[in-house]
């Protein structure tokens, strides 16, 4: 342990997040009788408010869920797909050789809200347990929708210290950002969460029915309608320097549901490490540790030149495979078992030499030829 990184222990639970308001909201849930799943969902909604530039309600989320005493770890894919109309020909008709990084064209189904709600719903499959603090028998996901979701609504209304994100010159509707610790409010988001809560509470007294009602309102109800109306309102300037219309529609939102399945994993020494599947970049870490397992890192000395060189070179190899082979398993044939397999890993590990390599070197799992597309400019041909 480093002196600047003390070990923290909790008596009723512990929370780690990227913002103290999310952590404090989750701790309040624990103190009020909720459990880890309730707390995690509450933290997720607060982060959608206080760090929208990282993971707002229009973004996505990947979740790993595990309950002590159970062998399984589940992954929840809260990453919405691209629109049905978004194919190569659609962009070629616009004269584009790549997808712009801003504007309406790259918009996908927002999966963060559905993913977090799926976490709250999915935990019903776990067996009851006893609360370590009170001894009471509890079921995972104990609290109704309102105490968990209202934390996001609570933080959208009051003043929240804001971080300024600079916008590229030329994009419309630019306004000066807040200075220093000037408060930022988001009343529209607060009203949206408040309406979602009212919709959930009026649907049923049952917790699961409330969550389903809120998710329906987001993806097929009033939120989906607002998104559809905005997208259909007209073209918007994007990174191409031109105005383009959205491909995303309300139908895309309505047909999507988050998926839940067993998480991808690999052993590293005495540990079993779990990550989301290749629809994310999660398996990169599993490939990294697979490669590193063949090196005597402790003998190199943590932080030494040899140690850092080895870690960096293994990272490059894993990320090269990510670029060539990862994708949505529903549409891509991802050879994940081979990528994490012992024989393939030994072949890749042999590529780590004494000198740094500055090029991407994807492998050929099962003898297949890797493909990494070029990165053309986002403008027109």
**Residue 136 in this model has a pLDDT that exceeds 80:** no
Please, are residues 19 and 38 in contact by the beta-carbon 8 Å criterion? no
Task: Write down the residue that tokens 């559809």 correspond to.
Answer: 228
Q: Each residue of 16-32: pLDDT tens digit?
A: 999 999 999 999 999 98
Query: How far is the C-alpha of 78 from the C-alpha of 110, rounded, in Å?
Result: 8
pLDDT at 26: 94
Query: How far is the C-alpha of 131 from the C-alpha of 380, rounded, in Å?
Result: 59
Query: How far is the C-alpha of 55 from the C-alpha of 313, rounded, in Å?
Result: 30
**50 vs 380, more confident:** 50
* pLDDT classification of 169: cutoffs 50, 70, 90: very low
Query: How far is the C-alpha of 92 from the C-alpha of 90, rounded, in Å?
Result: 6
pLDDT at 155: 58
pLDDT at 98: 85
Lowest mean pLDDT among 24-33, 72-81, 122-131, 274-283: 122-131
Give the rounded distance of the alpha carbon of 117 from its chain centre.
13
pLDDT at 120: 84
With vertex at residue 140, the alpha carbon angle to CA 74 and CA 138, rounded to the nearest 5 degrees, is 150
Query: How far is the C-alpha of 239 from the C-alpha of 376, rounded, in Å?
Result: 13
> What residue ranges of the chain are covered by domains with CATH 1.10.246.130?
265-367
Give the rounded distance of the alpha carbon of 255 from its chain centre.
20
Task: Write down the residue that tokens 């009203």 correspond to.
Answer: 191
Q: In 51-175, where does DSSP find H-type helix?
A: 52-55, 88-93, 112-122, 145-156
* pLDDT classification of 67: cutoffs 50, 70, 90: confident
**Is domain 265-367 in CATH 1.10.290.10, yes or no?**
no
pTM listed for this prediction: 0.82
SS3 237: strand
SS3 96: strand
φ, ψ of residue 245 to 5 degrees: the values are -90, 165
* Cα diameter, the chain: 67
Q: Which residues of 263-302 are buried (b: 16+ CB within 10 A; e: fewer)?
A: bbbbeeeeeebbbbbbbbebbbbbbbbbbbbebeeeebee
With vertex at residue 279, the alpha carbon angle to CA 314 and CA 113, rounded to the nearest 5 degrees, is 125
Percentage of the chain exceeding pLDDT 90: 61
- Calculate the average pLDDT of the chain: 85
* pLDDT classification of 33: cutoffs 50, 70, 90: confident
DSSP 133-145: TT--EE-SS-S-H
Mean pLDDT of 101-122: 90
Mean pLDDT of 246-262: 95
Which helix or strand (DSSP H or E) is residue 64 part of?
strand 61-65
Tell me the β-bridge partners of 75.
64, 261
Please, are residues 124 and 141 in contact by the beta-carbon 8 Å criterion? yes
Query: How far is the C-alpha of 315 from the C-alpha of 302, rounded, in Å?
Result: 16
Task: Write down the residue that tokens 């408060």 correspond to.
Answer: 183
* pLDDT classification of 183: cutoffs 50, 70, 90: confident
Strand residues in the chain grouped as ranges (E): 61-65, 74-78, 129-130, 137-138, 160-161, 183-184, 236-237, 243-244, 259-262, 264-268, 271-275
Strand residues in 186-288 grouped as ranges (E): 236-237, 243-244, 259-262, 264-268, 271-275
* pLDDT classification of 193: cutoffs 50, 70, 90: very high
**Residue 253 in this model has a pLDDT that exceeds 70:** yes
Q: Which residues have a Cβ under 8 Å from the Cβ of 107 and sit 6 or more positions away?
A: 83, 231, 246, 247, 248
Query: How far is the C-alpha of 142 from the C-alpha of 145, rounded, in Å?
Result: 10
Q: Each residue of 222-241: pLDDT tens digit?
A: 999 999 999 998 899 998 88
**Residue 334 in this model has a pLDDT that exceeds 50:** yes
């Amino acid at each position: 342990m480093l002196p600047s990184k003390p070990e923290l222990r909790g008596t009723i639970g512990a929370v780690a997040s990227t913002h103290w308001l999310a952590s404090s909201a989750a701790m309040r849930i624990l103190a009020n009788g909720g459990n880890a799943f309730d707390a995690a969902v509450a933290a997720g909604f607060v982060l959608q408010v206080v760090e929208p530039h990282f993971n707002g309600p229009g973004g996505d989320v990947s979740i790993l869920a595990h309950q002590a005493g159970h062998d399984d770890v589940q992954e929840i894919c809260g990453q919405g797909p691209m629109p049905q109309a978004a194919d190569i020909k659609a962009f070629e008709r616009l004269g584009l050789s790549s997808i712009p990084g801003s504007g309406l064209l790259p918009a996908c189904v927002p999966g963060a809200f559905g993913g977090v709600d799926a976490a709250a719903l999915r935990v019903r499959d776990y067996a009851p347990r006893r609360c370590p603090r009170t001894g009471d028998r509890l079921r995972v996901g104990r609290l109704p929708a309102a105490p968990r979701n209202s934390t996001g609504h609570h933080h959208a209304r009051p003043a929240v210290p804001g971080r300024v994100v600079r916008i590229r010159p030329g994009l419309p509707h630019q306004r000066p950002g807040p200075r220093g610790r000037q408060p930022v409010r988001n009343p529209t988001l607060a009203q949206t969460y408040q309406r979602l809560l009212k919709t959930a509470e009026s649907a049923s007294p049952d917790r699961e029915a409330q969550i389903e009602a809120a998710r329906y309102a987001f993806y097929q109800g009033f939120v989906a309608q607002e998104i559809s109306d905005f997208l259909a309102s007209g073209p918007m300037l994007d990174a191409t320097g031109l105005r383009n219309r959205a491909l995303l529609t309300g139908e895309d939102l309505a047909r999507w549901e988050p998926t839940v399945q067993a998480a991808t994993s690999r052993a590293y020494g005495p540990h079993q490490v779990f990550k989301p599947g290749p629809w994310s970049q999660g398996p990169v870490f599993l490939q990294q540790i697979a490669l590193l397992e063949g090196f005597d890192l402790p003998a190199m000395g943590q932080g030494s030149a040899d140690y850092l060189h080895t870690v960096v070179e293994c990272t490059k190899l894993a990320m090269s495979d990510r670029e060539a082979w990862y994708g949505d398993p529903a549409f891509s044939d991802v050879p994940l078992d081979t990528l994490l397999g012992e024989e393939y890993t030994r072949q890749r590990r042999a590529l780590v030499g004494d000198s740094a390599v500055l090029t991407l070197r994807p492998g050929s799992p099962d003898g297949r030829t890797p493909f990494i597309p070029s990165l053309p400019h986002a403008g027109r041909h």
